[in-house]
Amino acid sequence: MQIFRHTRIPMLALCLLCVCVGCSAPVSPPSIHVEPGATIIEQSDHGMVVQVNITAANPNTEPLPLRDIEYHVDMNGQRVFAGKRSAETTLRRNDEHTISLPVVIKADQLTTLQAASSTVSFNVSGTMVYLVRGPIAEVLFDAGIRRPTKAFSGGGEITLP
């Protein structure tokens, strides 16, 4: 019986935490849309930097802080880039924001893509981490226990020089 006496407090704390998390207002994830075009930002003998934009919208009545974005880009079915960046924004209530994702294409990949056609299709896929407000949600986020994510995917075409 000594074992049960030591587990009561942690079990009580766990139950209280579950009740508090369950009672918090539900938060909808952001909606994320990949813009169909891409822009060439920089070009050299070593490769090219392309900018792809995504638009994130907050359907909630409270601000929604966005954190990290992990993404990868395929062009003509070939993986050309994978990266991670900070979203660096908080979506105001019922608002949207455009976020630029840099894509680095190496010279050898660029040569292969240009050999096929000057117009190349691209697809961006990834996940965005966002923060649900509230003291318990923030503690769980900081501890790495609960990090809500939203997946996104979309694409378009870009004309290469």
pLDDT tens for each residue of 70-85: 999 999 999 999 999 9
**Across the chain, what does the average pLDDT equal?**
87
Contact residues for 53 (Cβ-Cβ < 8 A; gap 6+)? 34, 35, 37, 38, 98, 99, 100, 101
Span 112-137, average pLDDT: 90
Name which residue leads in pLDDT, 119 or 22. Answer: 119
pLDDT computed for residue 135 by the predictor: 84
pLDDT computed for residue 12 by the predictor: 46
Instruction: Kindly state the percentage of the chain with pLDDT values over 70.
Output: 84
pLDDT higher than threshold 90 for residue 51:
yes
Contact residues for 122 (Cβ-Cβ < 8 A; gap 6+)? 38, 52, 73, 74, 75, 155, 156, 157, 158
Structure tokens at 56: 């994130």
pLDDT computed for residue 122 by the predictor: 96
Contact (CB, 8 A) for 121 and 155: yes
